[in-house]
Amino acid sequence: MVKPTRRRREALTGYAFLLPSLIPLIVFTLYPLAYSGYLSLVKWNLLSPRKEFVGFANYTRLANDEALLRVFANTALYTAAVVSIGVIVGLVLALLLNRRLWLRALWRGVFFLPSVVPLAVLSGLWLWIYDPGFGLMNYLLRSIGLPAGQWLHSPTSALWAIIVMMIWQTAGYNMVILLAGLQNISEELYEAARLDGAGRGVILTRITLPLLSPTLLFITVVASIQAFRVFDPIWVMSLGTGGPANSTGTLVFYLYRQAFMFFEAGYASAIAYLVVGIALTFTVIQLWLSRRWVTYE
């Protein structure tokens, strides 16, 4: 009789210790998640006391929404570009700055700097860089005899302009995490390889990259989720419009507009569930793929 009570008491103590993190999780994550699920089944303008139950109408509307297709394509392009290029740039920087270089600590700091500056400040800076008439970018291009661009003012280049800014902003963070990963690889492996006569290329592809793969996976998963729900840079760089001519709107930006500007709380919740579903699918696929190519030391 003594044993179960004691075990129960232990369990209770355990839960009690969990409470401080469990309560915020329930109040700020699980409850809103469930409530948003309920909202996705109603038509509600946020202000009216009445919520009309519409079943899965908001979800069927997703399938027929032309504008949604557009923002989905924008989001996919943004995510693919920011994640793939951002990780590659981060990797190159990490490999370079893992060597013994002159002023190495300074370079590491310089490349990491963009990730600690608030996005609002960065955006102000880049809005000026990209100004087609008087910005730094066109000034530099003209001074070396290249044609100037319209950047944020053209539907064909606006999204790419934001992508470039965000690669610049996230590559430093990727670099720091990858540097940590690089330093976890034991020096003995490199020594042994060198003794066996392995060249730089072989060391990179046979030792460094395979042993860095868990870190690369981590970075890719985190960066994909971050990129997929991008909102702030879009909002600031398009001055709240998702333009010019709808060329920069993303899924979460669209969700925000539906909820807080078009007063479509139900439809916005359905979009939120779509975003969650896609992000979840991608994560599962990434983790599944990882079993094939991630090596743990």
Residues lying near another protein in the complex (CB under 8 A): 45-48, 127, 131, 133-134, 142, 148, 150, 153-155, 239-241, 243-246, 257, 260-264
Nearer to another protein, 1 or 261 (CB): 261
Task: Give CB contacts under 8 A, 24+ apart, made by 267-275.
Answer: 267/58, 267/61, 269/36, 269/37, 269/39, 269/40, 269/58, 270/40, 270/58, 270/59, 270/61, 270/62, 271/62, 271/68, 272/36, 272/40, 273/36, 273/37, 273/40, 274/62, 275/228, 275/229, 275/251
**Shortest Å distance, C-beta 139 to another protein:** 10
Nearer to another protein, 240 or 277 (CB): 240
Nearer to another protein, 226 or 246 (CB): 246
Contact (CB, 8 A) for 92 and 150: no
| Count helices and strands in the chain by DSSP H and E runs | 14, 2
Nearer to another protein, 46 or 96 (CB): 46
**Shortest Å distance, C-beta 211 to another protein:** 47
Nearer to another protein, 154 or 290 (CB): 154
**Shortest Å distance, C-beta 83 to another protein:** 28
**Shortest Å distance, C-beta 3 to another protein:** 38
Per DSSP, 254 falls in state H
Nearer to another protein, 32 or 155 (CB): 155
**Shortest Å distance, C-beta 295 to another protein:** 48
**Shortest Å distance, C-beta 219 to another protein:** 33
In this structure, what are the phi and psi dihedrals at residue 43, rounded to the nearest 5 degrees? -110, 120
In this structure, what are the phi and psi dihedrals at residue 68, rounded to the nearest 5 degrees? -65, -40
- CA pair distance 223, 36, nearest whole angstrom: 25
